[in-house]
Amino acid sequence: MILKTLLKAIKTFRLISLLMTYILGAGLVQHVRQMRDWGVLLQGAIFILLVVLSVDFLYLMQTLAVRSSDYEKLEKKDLRLIKWVCALLSATFLTVATTLMVNWMMNDVLSQSLLVLFILFLVAGGLYYLTRLLPKLRVYQILVEAVLFVGLPPAIAFFLQSTDAHPFLTLISVSLTPAYVAMRLLRQLSQFGTDQKQGRRTIVTQVGWEKAMTYHNAFILLTYLFLALTTLFGFPWFLLWPAFLSLPIGLLEIWLMERTRRGAKPFWRVMFFATACVLFVPLYLLAFNFWVR
């Protein structure tokens, strides 16, 4: 039970998004600049992963302290133990992350632009914690997550290996952000009833489930629209076209959502899988093309 509670702190979808977008940024720098230091690249992945995990365990520790009634099956001594483990893990992860940062400073790895990115990442991590903890800020959680898990990781991976920016970096990050938002909206839609009963403020409870469904479908379409528009800014079609292999799945998801809107029973597992494909299939295929071409 203790281990199960600790594992609840780890948000698998968000961590996969974090690491895959980081790999995408690394693939882009390999494609346009060539990799400079594989060790630094690995250290960067460890750094961002540890920062996010430390925030997750801090949040679990705070949740146990404030909402202990949610964990009635646990004895008091077990609750205290979990809190101490969460505090220890967070402190350890942040210490290792700080050590990596100091090591980069000593070895002149940190450029001015990279330092700014790391500061933004830490600020986004702090906001990610606050938007989960404070009810008034919870409506902004998805937007903060989009920056933390999709926007910043590829930029960090890229600038760890290059001092010059590249337009493809912005184009791809912006294009994939709507897919991440669509996935998180779907999660909140599936929890709408529970969130409403508990008075939990989310984007979906604030705008209503019907509008949230429209936004979800719009974000799926925006993903492919933005990907198509990248060709107008010089993104090569031979690198881009595999990303559209998931378009039929995205259209299926839109149909399933419209079906649910009309009162049919929602197929949540199928919808989660379809929406995940909208994000991860283009992400994987673009990263693969960057790495092999």
Structural domain spans, the chain: 1-163, 166-293
* pLDDT category of residue 20 using cuts at 50, 70 and 90: very high
Torsion on CA atoms 213, 215, 221, 225, rounded to nearest 10: 180
Q: Please return the burial class of 189, using the count of CB atoms within 10 Å of its CB with bins 0-12, 13-18 and 19+.
A: buried
* pLDDT category of residue 284 using cuts at 50, 70 and 90: very high
Q: How far apart are CA 288 and CA 30, in angstroms?
A: 11
pLDDT in tens, 186-219: 999 999 988 888 888 889 999 989 999 999 999 9
| pLDDT of 164 higher than 80 | yes
**Phi and psi of 91, rounded to 5°?**
-65, -40
The pLDDT of residue 156 is 95
| pLDDT of 92 higher than 60 | yes
* pLDDT category of residue 173 using cuts at 50, 70 and 90: very high
* pLDDT category of residue 90 using cuts at 50, 70 and 90: very high
191 CB-near residues (< 8 Å, 6+ apart): 202
| pLDDT of 1 higher than 70 | no
Average pLDDT over residues 124-140: 92
The pLDDT of residue 183 is 96
The pLDDT of residue 67 is 60
| pLDDT of 72 higher than 70 | no
Q: Exposed e or buried b for every residue in 82-96, given b needs 16+ CB within 10 A?
A: bbebbeebbeebbee
pLDDT in tens, 33-43: 888 889 999 99
Looking at residue 74, what DSSP letter applies? S
Q: How far apart are CA 154 and CA 224, in angstroms?
A: 19
Average pLDDT over residues 238-253: 95
**166-293 — its CATH code?**
1.20.120
Listed residue (281, 171, 277) closest to 226, CA to CA: 171
Helix axes 112-133, 152-159, angle to 10 degrees: 160
The pLDDT of residue 50 is 96
The pLDDT of residue 193 is 87
Average pLDDT over residues 271-276: 96
**Phi and psi of 221, rounded to 5°?**
-65, -40
pLDDT in tens, 93-129: 999 999 999 999 898 888 888 999 999 999 999 999 9
Largest CA distance in the chain: 61
Query: What is the model's pTM?
Result: 0.94
| pLDDT of 62 higher than 90 | no
Listed residue (3, 1, 36) closest to 162, CA to CA: 36
